[in-house]
Structure formats: C-alpha cells, structure tokens
Amino acid sequence: MKRIKSLRRISLILIVCTLIFMCGCDDNNNSIDVEQPEKIATGDQIFSAQNENAVEESDNVNGMRFTLTLPEFTEKYNETARQTDGILTISKDKWKVNGDVKTDSNGVEIRYYYYDESDTNFTATVEARTGKIMNIGCGTTMSNFVAQDENSSNSDMILKKSAIMAASVCQFPTDSLDVLQDIFYHTTFESSSSLWYQGFIFSLSTQENKTDSEKSVMLLRVFPVKDELKDEWKVTDYENYMATMPETGELTINN
C-alpha cells in the first residue's frame, strides 16, 4: 500500500513538473465547477503597492526575474504560513532539482525544481547563474483540487497556499492574501486563465489525461514580465477585469 501511494506521488510530481514548461498564457478547453473561496478580495484591497525590490531586469525570456533565491523564498513563505491557520511550513532541504540545466530562448541557463508535499507540489524555474527565481507555481491533480468534505474544500486550501506563495515571492504584505487568492481563483474562469497584477502574471496551466482523469493536473503560477510582453500577450489587467466582473459563486477550470 505504501509503495502504491509513493508511486502515485512520484507520478504527480512528474506530471505537474511538465506544466512548468508551458507558457503562462496557454488556453485550454475543459471545465470543473468549484465553490468560491471562503475569503475574497474587497474593492479597497485591490490596490496594494508593489514592492520595488521584489523584481529586477534580466536577460531571460521574460525580461524580469524575482530577487529571491529558493531558500530566501522558503523563509518568507514560512513566515506567512506560521500566521495562517491550516498551512504548514516547508523545508529548504526538500527542494529537488528536476533534470539537467536547460537554456531558454534568450540563451539564459535555467534549472527546474520541485517540492513534494503530499497531494500538492511546488515547482520553480531558477536562473542557474544567479540562483534567482523566474517563476514559481503550486500544482495538484484536478481531482484533488475539487475534493471536499463536510468541513472544508481542497480548492480553498490550495488557493490559499498559492496566495501565500505569491505574497512571499512577490514580497506583498500579508494583508494582500485575500486579493492574491481571489486572483488565482479568477484564473480558473474560462475567460481569464492569465491575469496581470502589479507587474506580475498570475496564470493557470492544465493538462488533461483523457484515459485517466485522476492524472489530469493543474498548476497555478506567478512570474514577473516586462511591460512589452504583457501587451504582446494581451494579458488582462486584474483591476480592469474585476471592474466588469459580475458576482458569482462558482468557478470554471479551463483544460
């Protein structure tokens, strides 16, 4: 039984890791209904100030990178996790390299990392020379995401983890968590798999397994880009999007 569970976890790691190769603005076509998170952003929370020290210019394909390394991100994640009910801290030692050094289309050498945490995994793309993060994501299977019991839903917990991840790497204050959770929630809507907010792209990537739905996976990611790419990719601004968004109680995951 332990061996089967271990193999399932390894399978999840490998499948989720493949999503980190996908463009943050890819669109797909399947849907799963999930309840809206317990906490959502209010209008006066949407305008959090960007931390100017959170990003810097880079020669990589996105033109920008985070200023944090994985160990520094882990420290910041744990600081927020300790203040958040139901969220466990993570260990610097459990980040693992996924494959050999790669080169992006601009010639910058990068490494892929993953963090295995039961039914949820973190993935990260890191510049090999600087050690600084290019993008980071929180992934799981879709079946795990929509699972719930009488007292809680997995989707709410995974969106919360994703919000803490984003707040940590983007160096937003802890009072921005509801906003960030709401942004990730809205990336699961059919019309908005990628949203831009304060210099960062928040995106949902999915991969459907048509023969075994238990292996269909999703990855909620955040990464900085230069302004020209935001315009080139035609990414919707979260603030403008919310200004036209009708109130709703359910979400739809694209795949």
How many structural domains comprise the chain? Answer: 1
Alpha-carbon distance of 167 to 237, in angstroms, equals: 18
Tell me which residue has tokens 């020290």: 53
Task: Look at residue 35 in the predicted model and tell me its pLDDT.
Answer: 55
Task: Give the three-state DSSP class for 11.
Answer: helix
């906490």: which residue's tokens? 39
Number of H helices, E strands in the chain: 7, 13
Where in the sequence is the domain holding 59, given as residue range(s)?
A: 2-252
Please tell me what DSSP assigns to residue 63.
S
pLDDT score, position 6: 41
Token digits for 92?
């610097």
Burial, 253: exposed, middle or buried (Cβ in 10 Å; 0-12, 13-18, 19+)? Answer: buried
Region at 125 (left for phi over 0; alpha for psi -120 to 50; beta for the rest): beta
Q: Check residue 214 and give its pLDDT.
A: 74
Instruction: Report pLDDT for 191.
Output: 67
- Give the per-residue pLDDT at 125: 96
**Percent of the chain residues topping a pLDDT of 70:** 74
pLDDT per residue of the chain (255 residues) written in tens, 0 to 9: 443 344 344 344 444 455 554 444 444 443 445 555 555 444 445 545 567 799 999 999 999 999 999 999 999 999 999 988 888 899 999 999 999 999 999 999 999 999 987 767 899 999 999 999 999 999 998 888 888 776 778 889 999 999 999 999 999 988 899 999 999 999 988 667 899 999 999 999 988 888 877 778 899 999 999 989 998 999 999 988 888 876 654 545 555
Question: Quick one: tokens of 173?
Answer: 């204050």
pLDDT at 130: 98
